Amino acid sequence: MKTVPVLQLSEANREALRRHFLALEPEDLRLRFEHVICEATLMKYIDSIDFERDAVFGVFDDQLELAGVAHLGLRGEVAEFGVSVVPGHRGEGIGTALYRRAYEYCRNHRIDTLFVHCLHENAAMMHIARKAGMQIVLEANEVEAHLRVPPGDPLSYTEEFLDDRVGLFDLALKSQFLAARTFTEAFANAAETLAHPLQQEEGGEAKKDNTPRNAACCGGGLTGKAG
């Protein structure tokens, strides 16, 4: 049973994807892409994502930022699964939820093989592969894991339909909560600002300026240097 709402992403979420990957540490990016990757190459990867060809899934946090992202690269009847989760949201089951959503997508879109290619030290991906019952092949420092995907059935189609709706509802709900919280904080700040001069008046009469009106300004004037 899924407890983490997952939403299929679209072109409208490309900037959110950009922020997600920029929030990852260099080591996280190395494990995700299997090599050290510079920011320019990372941006090129994000810009090249084809939402019409591939399937991209995400989990949004309460700030409407992507806590986790899965990219399902589709090549005919084969799909490659890649996933990343930002440091502050690890251990929440996001990676597993993204994998389950990707697997569900494969079943319902005639993908018969799901595979993972990662570095041997990528413990998070290895955990997902083992938990999914994938056939794992070790090759030096790299790992390939394959899983045969059964065809979809009425139940899997229904589950995908419901998961899409839950993901949309979750995003809408979080958007409303964030808007309400932002409004409340702005209102509180405005009220505090307006109340500030009243507090000064209640504290007593403002001190009078005893400086003679015709007295010369101290210091070097507008153009002079301070002493």
User: What pLDDT score does 138 carry?
Assistant: 87
For the packed helices 123-131 and 94-108, what is the interaxial angle rounded to 10 degrees? Answer: 50
Q: Within the chain, how many helices (H) and strands (E) appear?
A: 6, 7
Structure tokens at 195: 């109340």
pLDDT digits (tens, 9 = 90+) for 56-65: 999 999 999 9
Give phi and psi for 76, each to the nearest 5.
70, -120
Yes or no: say if 59 and 5 are a contact pair by the CB < 8 Å rule: yes
What three-state secondary structure class fits 116? strand
pLDDT digits (tens, 9 = 90+) for 147-183: 999 999 999 999 999 999 998 888 889 888 888 877 6
**pTM of the shown model:** 0.78
For the chain, which residues make up each domain, given as ranges? 7-177
pLDDT digits (tens, 9 = 90+) for 83-125: 999 999 999 999 999 999 999 999 999 999 999 999 999 999 9
pLDDT digits (tens, 9 = 90+) for 7-54: 999 999 999 999 999 999 999 999 999 999 999 999 999 999 999 999
C-alpha 122/C-alpha 29 separation (Å) is 11
Long-range contacts made by residues 51-54, C-beta under 8 angstroms, separation at least 24?
51/9, 51/10, 51/11
Which of 3.40.50.300, 3.40.630.30, 3.30.365.10, 3.40.50.2300 would CATH assign to domain 7-177? 3.40.630.30
Q: What length is written for the chain?
A: 227
